[in-house]
């Protein structure tokens, strides 16, 4: 995966001051709603992504906890980054569905992870396991984002 464009960019930006912030801002531009949570990708490698975002007024709901859509934005961003750095060059992916369970109040800053088994990247459906944690390590959201993987069409 050393020749993956996104992984190269990630490692290149890490050499700069505030490199993680720079990379995270650049990747968040892929989908404007990612920027709403002001994410920071803290770890990115094939089959794993971790990001964090702060609990602040803009992502709170009416009871003062991080709202469901902000959590789902984090899950989807982590999944997307993982998919882009992991998928073999001859394949492509698209999200197909998302199932989540809210397991505790999200009343602090949030850490999100996305993970897949290394051998899972074959044509068909792939379940990407996603979780969100509050500062004390309690899981506040967990679920699966199903992506559909297919071969890239031949360019004639």
**What pLDDT digit, counting tens, does each position of 112-148 carry?**
999 999 999 999 999 999 999 999 999 999 999 999 9
Is residue 2's pLDDT more than 90? no
**Which of 24, 111, 116 is closest to 71 using CA atoms?**
111
- Rounded to whole angstroms, how far apart are CA atoms 38 and 64? 18
Rounded to two decimals, the pTM is 0.93
Residues 6+ apart with CB under 8 A from 153: none
- Locate the domains of the chain by residue range: 5-151
The four Cα atoms 3, 24, 21, 11 give a dihedral, to 10 degrees, of: -10
The owner of tokens 């990612």 is 34
Looking at 3.30.300.90, 1.20.120.1780, 3.10.129.10, 3.40.50.2000, the CATH number of the domain 5-151 comes to: 3.10.129.10
The residues facing 151 across adjacent strands are: 91
């Amino acid at each position: 995966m050393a020749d993956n464009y996104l992984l190269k960019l990630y490692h290149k930006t890490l050499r700069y001051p505030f490199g993680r912030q720079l990379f995270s801002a650049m990747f968040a531009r892929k989908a404007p709603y990612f920027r709403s949570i002001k994410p920071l990708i803290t770890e990115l490698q094939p089959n794993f992504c971790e990001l964090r975002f702060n609990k602040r007024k803009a992502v709170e709901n009416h009871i003062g906890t991080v709202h469901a859509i902000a959590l789902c934005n984090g899950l989807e961003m982590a999944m997307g980054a993982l998919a882009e750095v992991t998928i073999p060059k001859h394949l492509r992916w698209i999200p197909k569905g998302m199932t989540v369970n809210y397991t505790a109040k999200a009343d602090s800053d949030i850490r999100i992870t996305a993970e897949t088994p290394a051998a899972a990247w074959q044509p068909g459906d792939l379940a990407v396991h996603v979780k969100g944690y509050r500062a004390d390590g309690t899981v506040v959201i967990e679920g699966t984002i199903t992506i559909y993987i297919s071969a890239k069409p031949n360019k004639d």
